[in-house]
Structure 1
């Protein structure tokens, strides 16, 4: 009994010791167990990547890179598999790490984690954006206006379909893929925001969430979008060049202290050095320098010649600084012509929301910074600096006929119709009388 019992105990311990590590090996020979384990790994990867996306959005205020999400999603699965393998080895049993069926399952598990990680990234980032947007609504800013009427605790704003998203004039168009990405997306905002506050938050959300540079939107008191247009910043030197100037790349030897924005003299070498032009240095790359200069002087430069640049002790041009600052701001410049009979005729400069920098009358010289009491006349070319929606409203007023003119035109048409009808009846009556 004693010998038999000891043998049975030893056999039981041996089986138990071997069963612990072998039970940790999951293979496709057990389909149900393998499917449950893969489902567990997918859920872990989704939770980890969602949490990482939310933390990244909170700290950096932008979407986490997809590679980071995949790395963390795969890491949690690999960590679990390594921990299980290590536990089996410490248990003292035989644990074959390179068993073909175990390796196949581990590879599939890592692939599942990599596949679901982008989904966790999107879900976590979306939740974080909406939560942080609502949390930021505790402090109300802006002017007191009509409160946005909402029923729930949040104000949902749905972006229009891709085909209804307009392109902003004077800006580069946003790609169709980016429009499709933002189309019909619903963004959540705190309730009890004024219309202006809701518009400001909506513009900031679209810029931040979808990487859009410029957004022009009109929102009504119910939180519905009436107008939506997007644009991106024009790249390159072209938008910063003044009329009559050109950008030219030449082979040159600039001074060591020359930096973009410096005014330089362009000298042609030889036995008798000659000054060719005066330009503004825009960029340098090795022995190649990009200059902005007068178009007439640009024609005198030879792309096969080598020049020497001499830096002048001058400050950067004011117009260049203004152009660079304006490109990074929400405001922009535009020129609008006042149509005859429009709503804007007879309106003072102080009554418009955009800043009127100058006015060129139909006959006369340019008036810079006109007084607020100046009245717009038909044919005035108005130079504006302001936000995109303010300039768009100004353009609408400058081209829309005044209400009195529209009413007068409608009365005239009615009078013509009545006169035509009356003339016909009179002719018929006279014919009958004569008969």
Structure 2
């Protein structure tokens, strides 16, 4: 004979079964959201070669769950049987479902992007002929292959050899039917963003094939912005409350007999320390364990310092053109050059600043021109 207590324990508990059913449904919605986001990420990576934005992936996963629960009847049947729609259990369940689905969708997006970026890349054809055949057959992307030889951009520091070796022969995929200018802009943005390139000089043919590629790196830090003959140093100083980087300052000693030491440019402040740019001849007047006072001067200290800083921040750069006897530049008026001529040095004896448009270059001249690297590259003589 079976003990009644044992028989009671053997009976299924409706509350436990309902709770397990709830967890099972939540798990199902989580898998649905993750799978949808992963599929969207793989498709987006394959089509555009870019990562699916985080918000779009989460939205795709939650949308799949919302479609499943799109009506009041479907929502009530899919939640906890006949539990009323406005009960607290229903509200808590719905919030938990969407919260876990959002988290799972973001995880699925990351997994899908990894598969689209790495797994598909390993399985993709590696030669340009195979890539071209794939593009022609699929018709969904445009393949751009970088040349094996990558040039340096004049006026910029060269890109390190490791980066050039990694980029040589690399193939980039972009959406189809892009105009040449948009394709050029996207390729430039990819190289600058993914490889830290300072400037990209690229020419594309009508078919999207690269005819020329030059890369340059933009130096970071304060050094490239210093004018010739100046140095930057950090001193213990008390600048004016309204002083800001770029102001011209006069540096005074702060002891009993204050006296001016130098005139410089304020580059930055932090607590009681200030970084100033001064002439290299004035560096010896400063002592490491001494405090100084900064007096802000009206106006700008030196225009050349502003010019150097502005040029470093712009795409334009300055280069020197030597005019050889019998060369293509001899006798050329300066207004015919595809760049702005800042100055012409005539045999080292006479410099002409901002020459008139009708000034013709002569043998032995050195012309200093300002322009974008792609324009400077087209100059007849370098």
Shorter-chain TM range is 0.5 to 0.7
Decide which of 238, 250, 271 is 1:286's aligned counterpart.
Answer: 271
Counterpart in the other structure of 2:361: 376
Counterpart in the other structure of 2:171: 184
Counterpart in the other structure of 1:242: 227
Counterpart in the other structure of 2:127: none
Q: Is the 8 A contact 2:244 2:268 kept in 1?
A: yes
Decide which of 130, 143, 157 is 1:171's aligned counterpart.
Answer: 157
Decide which of 25, 38, 63 is 1:46's aligned counterpart.
Answer: 38
Decide which of 259, 263, 266 is 2:251's aligned counterpart.
Answer: 266
Give the structure-2-normalised TM-score: 0.66
Q: State the distance in 2 between where 1:236 and 1:303 align.
A: 22
Report how far residue 209 of structure 1 moved: 3.7
Question: Residue 366 of structure 1 aligns to a residue in which SS?
Answer: strand
Counterpart in the other structure of 1:398: 381
Report how far residue 24 of structure 1 moved: 6.5
Counterpart in the other structure of 1:424: none
Change in Cα spacing, 1:272 to 1:15, as seen in structure 2 (3 Å) is closer
Counterpart in the other structure of 1:231: 216
Decide which of 132, 146, 155 is 1:160's aligned counterpart.
Answer: 146
Change in Cα spacing, 1:377 to 1:294, as seen in structure 2 (3 Å) is same
Counterpart in the other structure of 1:331: 316
Change in Cα spacing, 1:71 to 1:233, as seen in structure 2 (3 Å) is farther
Q: Is the 8 A contact 1:353 1:390 kept in 2?
A: yes
Structure 1 residues 113-132: aligned runs within 5 Å: 116-118=108-110, 120=112
Report how far residue 215 of structure 1 moved: 1.4
Structure 1 residues 13-412: aligned runs within 5 Å: 40-46=32-38, 87-88=79-80, 116-118=108-110, 120=112, 156=142, 158-160=144-146, 163-169=148-154, 170-171=156-157, 173=159, 176=162, 180=166, 183-188=170-175, 190=177, 198-199=180-181, 201-210=182-191, 211=193, 212-315=197-300, 317-394=302-379, 397-399=380-382
Give the structure-1-normalised TM-score: 0.59
Report how far residue 323 of structure 1 moved: 3.3
Aligned residues: 321
Structure that is richer in helix per residue: 1
Report how far residue 300 of structure 1 moved: 1.7
Larger RCO, structure (CA 8 Å, separation 6 or more)? 2
Runs of 5+ in structure 1 lacking a partner?
Answer: 1-13, 28-33, 93-108, 126-151, 400-435
Larger Rg: 1
Change in Cα spacing, 1:110 to 1:181, as seen in structure 2 (3 Å) is farther
Query: Residues 91-142 of structure 1: CA distance to partner in whole angstroms, max 9, x if unpaired?
Result: 59xxxxxxxxxxxxxxxx99985654236558999xxxxxxxxxxxxxxxxx
Q: Is the 8 A contact 1:157 1:186 kept in 2?
A: yes
Report how far residue 346 of structure 1 moved: 3.1
Report how far residue 165 of structure 1 moved: 3.7
Query: Residues 65-100 of structure 1: CA distance to partner in whole angstroms, max 9, x if unpaired?
Result: 76x67877887899999x99x9248759xxxxxxxx
Runs of 5+ in structure 2 lacking a partner?
Answer: 1-11, 69-74, 85-100, 118-137
Q: State the distance in 1 between where 2:29 and 2:165 align.
A: 39
Q: State the distance in 2 between where 1:181 and 1:122 align.
A: 21
Q: State the distance in 1 between where 2:340 and 2:211 align.
A: 24
RMSD across aligned positions (CA): 4.9
Q: State the distance in 2 between where 1:71 and 1:154 align.
A: 25
Report how far residue 312 of structure 1 moved: 1.5
